[in-house]
């Protein structure tokens, strides 16, 4: 993009901001007066307004009440200004953001979006700005005014910068090398990399759906269960938007999105689990023209890269410092890494194209299967397995992905030669060219981040019908466990559906322990004295039913053993008795930390809420609760990932089951949901941790959908600005 056009785009956005501010507070006060926020007994926000845009206004206000710090932080990172607040450690994150031109692309998209979506974004920004006006005690760290294009930047930041970019397999040092060349800095230490999201980092999600044939009530049932971080930009927020224009959608979102994007309305709903579709590629770029350093080889000739500079601002001990960075991009994409001296450009599917938020909005407004499929078929929200159910009894699965058409002559897992025209993408595969299943004869569908070719037990898509580069994931323990559960039971009541969604049976446990016991038996024949030291542990594990409970000592030993075995295998320990050695060391570790190797799982596996950023340390001295959930590799449906903390004996939850919902699509939708902690991030709020104890045991709360139910069960209701700060 030429500099004059870029300046014009930025100027237009600045002008829009000036106009917005000049309208004064009277318009926002009138808008606030037309919107009602209903808080249920758990503090969940149900927002009603006369228009969709007014509902987005109230939704922003509610998010700000519940967690302004996270909203602002998400936007600060999304617009490439994190180093102004967090310092040098996140400067590389800002540099990548600017190299990808996320602010420019997002400003331009705002100017291009459908008027209804622009109205939604305007209302959403107004809601945050009104919150700041009504709550002067809230002190932003950087942003004292919110722009309507910020959510579009956050989409690109969250999914592309923190997600797809790392599907290229580029390494931290390779980004750092490009960063140093761009800024002229030479530092021996590597700055922090952004913690990326997606299937490569966040372990996955669960989703099930059944037709009326598998339901005791004769209604389709849906299970929604994302596995995301409990802290930071990826954490989820439960909310509900309603308007007199017919919008009524409940589910989850991220702080900074103007609508819930997964959930249900009066007619239908869907779950989403990350898939591993290949949506990004890296290209080697050859600059070999001494007369023009921006010319790069392409085919029989050359093309010319675009170059520009930007200022990066960094918080230091001496105040804000300014750094100038020089960026380059080719027709393949921006240069973001260097490998062995060779610059690498990255191309990500539909990164520069608008439409992600438009598609989400259309999906939430859909009333029928055809309308839902029409919205999804745009493939502008370009990844994730969608699992759908509706009031008419349909269930539907689609391997949602905007997969580039590529030559199968290349290994797309590694950087390809950017000078070879044969590596060019040839458009995208369309909706009818990606795996999907509608109303299988089995009556059930599932996806737990596994292959679409095992979505049910019969009637799956045939892998031979799809190109080799399209589907990369295989099977996994949660995928197998879901198939086992859904195939084994004839019909589910709604109560059984909710209870089974929280299953802690470990499908992987049987195979792992069988292998251990077989090795131990061989050891007993060869070295009986050594085998005797672990005999009691072998009996405990051998008699275990492979169900995780907070009382289970076998569960603690099993997880500690498996994790130690991985450590030994990664270290390439050449031992005949790796399973037994890992068991010996696991027992010794538990003995050392707890005084006994027989430790109940609930003593080890805990849930504790700390600051929303995730940077506040966990502590054994502070209150926490036991959790029966298990790491996803074990194959339990109740997925719970923990982190050990130096100096602490217990391990604390950082990711896994976040928003969990079960939905029945009868004449009136019945839904229940849970959030990991609670609706508010304020430690003084009664809703800071009120859902935690219920979450730990799967005690679902009601998720009200109709306006009459919302009003009947509201603990309080108010117009934005009336309630002051907090929830």
Let me know the angle formed at the C-alpha of 33 by 28 and 38, rounded to the nearest 5 degrees: 120
Domain membership flag for residue 559: yes
Residues 484 and 588 in one domain: no
**Who's near 32: CB < 8 A, 6+ residues apart?**
57, 61, 130, 719, 720, 721
pLDDT tens figures, 339-394: 999 999 999 999 999 999 999 999 999 999 999 999 999 999 999 999 999 999 99
Query: What are the tokens at 585?
Result: 């060391």
- The CATH number given to whatever domain includes residue 263 is 3.60.20.10
Grade residue 727 by pLDDT with cuts at 50, 70 and 90.
Answer: confident
pLDDT of residue 5: 40
Q: What are the tokens at 138? A: 């809230």
Domain membership of residue 398 (yes or no) is: yes
Three-state SS annotation for 576-614: CCHHHHHHHHHHHHHHHHHCCCCCCHHHHEEECCCCCCC
Residues 396 and 458 in one domain: yes
Same domain, 224 and 371: yes
Please give the residue that has the higher pLDDT: either 4 or 640.
640
Range of the domain at 566: 507-546+553-599
Average pLDDT over residues 648-662: 97
pLDDT, one tens digit per residue, over 704-714 is 999 999 999 99
For residue 164, pLDDT beyond 70: yes
Q: What does the pLDDT read at residue 571? A: 86
**pLDDT above 80: residue 190:** no
Give domain status of residue 592, yes or no: yes
What pLDDT was estimated at residue 723?
Answer: 64
**717 domain residue, yes or no:** no
Q: Which residues pair with 315 in a beta bridge?
A: 320
Contact present, 607 and 627 (Cβ < 8 Å): yes
Could you give the C-alpha distances from 670 to 209, 210, 213, 695, in angstroms and in order?
Answer: 15, 15, 18, 19
Domain assignment present for 360:
yes
- Local confidence band at 575 (pLDDT 50, 70, 90 cut-offs): confident
Least confident of 14-23, 578-587, 616-625: 14-23
Q: What is the three-class DSSP state of 18?
A: helix
In angstroms and rounded to an integer, the radius of gyration of the C-alpha atoms of the chain is: 26
Claim to verify: residue 526 and residue 589 sit in the same structural domain: yes
Is the alpha carbon torsion for 447, 452, 454, 460 positive or negative?
positive
CA 347 to chain CA centroid, Å, is: 21
Across the range 602-622, mean pLDDT stands at 97
Note whether 385 and 517 are same-domain residues.
no
- Shared domain check, 491 and 437: yes
CB 717 within 8 A of CB 39: yes
Domain assignment present for 140: no
Q: Which two tokens stand for residue 323?
A: 């750094």
Structural domain count, the chain: 2
Closest by CA to 259, choosing from 115, 52, 28, is: 52
| Lowest mean pLDDT across 144-158, 175-189, 619-633, 679-693 | 175-189
Residues 491 and 562 grouped into a single domain: no
Q: What is the DSSP letter of 358?
A: H
Cα angle value 348/152/663 (rounded, 5°): 95
Q: Which whole number is the average pLDDT over 326-350?
A: 98
- Rounded CA separation 195/611 (Å): 17
**pLDDT above 90: residue 294:** yes
Share of the chain above pLDDT 70, in %: 93
Inside any domain, residue 521: yes
- pLDDT (mean) for 505-532: 96
User: Is pLDDT above 60 for 325?
Assistant: yes
Q: Are residues 361 and 480 in the same domain?
A: yes
- Do residues 364 and 447 share a domain? yes
Same domain, yes or no: 585 and 449: no
Query: Is beta strand 204-210 parallel, antiparallel or unpaired with respect to 444-447?
Result: antiparallel
Q: Give the residue from 599, 619, 636 where a domain finishes.
A: 599
Both 474 and 521 in one domain: the answer is no
Q: Among 486, 501, 516, where does a domain finish? A: 501
Nearest to 36 by CA among 711, 717, 680: 717
Answer yes or no: do 476 and 540 share one domain: no
Q: What backbone phi and psi angles, to 5 degrees, belong to 36?
A: -120, 130
pLDDT mean over 542-552: 98
Asked which of 599, 618, 636 is the last residue of a domain, the reply is 599
pLDDT at 491 over 90: yes
Q: What is the pTM of this model?
A: 0.94
The per-residue pLDDT for 188 is 52
Closest CA relative to residue 706, chosen from 665, 668, 659, 675 = 668
Longest dimension (CA), the chain: 85
Determine, yes or no, domain membership for 218.
Answer: yes
- State yes or no: pLDDT of 258 exceeds 60: yes
Is pLDDT of 73 > 70?
yes
């Amino acid at each position: 993009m030429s500099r004059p056009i870029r300046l014009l785009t930025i100027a237009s956005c600045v002008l829009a901001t000036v106009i917005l501010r000049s309208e004064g507070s009277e318009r926002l006060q009138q808008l606030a007066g037309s919107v009602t926020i209903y808080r249920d007994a758990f503090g969940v926000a149900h927002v009603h307004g006369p228009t969709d845009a007014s509902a987005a206004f109230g939704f922003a206000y509610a998010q700000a009440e519940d967690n302004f710090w996270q909203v602002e932080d998400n936007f600060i990172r999304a617009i490439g200004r994190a180093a102004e607040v967090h310092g040098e450690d996140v400067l590389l994150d800002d540099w990548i953001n600017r190299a990808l031109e996320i602010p420019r692309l997002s400003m331009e998209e705002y100017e291009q979006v459908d008027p209804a979506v622009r109205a939604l974004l305007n209302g959403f920004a107004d809601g945050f700005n009104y919150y700041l006006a009504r709550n002067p005690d809230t002190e932003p760290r950087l942003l004292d005014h919110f722009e309507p294009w910020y959510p579009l930047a956050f989409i690109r930041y969250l999914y592309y910068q923190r997600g797809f970019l790392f599907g290229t397999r580029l390494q931290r040092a390779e980004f750092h090398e490009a960063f140093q060349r761009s800024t002229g800095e030479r530092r021996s230490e590597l700055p922090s990399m952004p913690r990326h999201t997606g299937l490569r980092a966040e372990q996955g999600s669960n989703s099930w759906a059944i037709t009326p044939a598998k339901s005791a009530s004769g209604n389709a049932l849906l299970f929604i269960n994302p596995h995301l971080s409990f802290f930071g930009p990826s954490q989820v927020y439960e909310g509900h938007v309603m308007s007199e224009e017919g919008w009524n959608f409940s589910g989850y979102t991220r702080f900074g999105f103007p609508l819930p994007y997964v959930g249900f309305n009066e007619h239908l709903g869907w779950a989403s689990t990350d898939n591993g579709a290949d949506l990004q590629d890296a290209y080697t770029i050859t600059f070999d023209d001494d007369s023009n350093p921006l010319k790069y080889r392409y085919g029989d000739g050359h093309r010319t890269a675009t170059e520009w500079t930007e200022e990066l601002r960094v918080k230091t001990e001496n105040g804000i410092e300014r750094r100038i960075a020089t960026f380059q991009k080719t027709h393949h994409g921006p240069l973001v890494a260097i490998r062995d001296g060779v610059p690498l450009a990255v191309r990500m599917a539909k990164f520069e194209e608008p439409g992600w938020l438009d598609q989400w909005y259309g999906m939430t407004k859909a009333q029928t299967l055809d309308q839902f499929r029409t919205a999804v078929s745009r493939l502008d929200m370009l990844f994730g397995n969608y699992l759908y159910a509706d009031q008419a009894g349909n269930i539907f699965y689609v391997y949602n992905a905007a997969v580039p058409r590529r030559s199968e002559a290349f290994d797309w897992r590694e950087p390809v030669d950017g000078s070879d025209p044969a590596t060019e993408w040839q458009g995208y595969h369309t909706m009818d060219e990606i795996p999907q299943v509608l109303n299988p004869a089995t009556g059930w569908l599932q996806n737990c981040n596994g292959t679409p070719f095992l979505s049910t037990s019969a009637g799956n898509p045939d892998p031979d019908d799809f190109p080799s580069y399209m589907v990369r994931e295989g099977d996994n323990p949660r995928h197998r466990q879901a198939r086992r559960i859904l195939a084994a039971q004839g019909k589910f009541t709604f109560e059984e559906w909710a209870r089974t969604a929280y299953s802690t049976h470990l499908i992987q446990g049987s195979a792992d322990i069988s292998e251990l016991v077989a090795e131990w038996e061989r050891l007993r024949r060869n070295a009986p004295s050594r085998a005797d030291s672990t005999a009691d542990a072998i009996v405990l594990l051998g008699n275990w039913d492979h169900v995780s409970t907070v009382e289970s000592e076998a569960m603690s030993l099993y997880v500690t053993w498996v994790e130690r075995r991985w450590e030994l295998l990664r270290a390439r320990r050449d031992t005949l008795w790796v399973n037994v050695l890992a068991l010996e060391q696991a027992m010794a570790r538990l003995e050392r930390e707890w005084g006994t190797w027989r430790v109940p799982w609930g003593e080890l596996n805990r849930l504790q809420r700390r600051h929303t950023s995730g940077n506040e340390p966990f502590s054994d001295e502070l209150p926490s609760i036991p959790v029966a959930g298990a790491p996803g590799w074990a194959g339990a449906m109740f997925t719970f990932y923990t982190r050990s903390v130096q100096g602490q004996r217990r391990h604390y939850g950082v990711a896994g089951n976040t928003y969990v919902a079960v939905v029945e699509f009868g004449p009136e939708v019945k839904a229940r949901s849970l959030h990991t902690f609670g609706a508010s991030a304020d430690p003084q709020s009664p809703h800071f941790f009120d859902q935690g104890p219920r979450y730990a045991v799967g005690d679902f709360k009601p998720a009200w959908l109709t306006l009459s139910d919302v009003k009947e069960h509201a603990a309080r209701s108010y117009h934005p600005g009336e309630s002051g700060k907090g929830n």
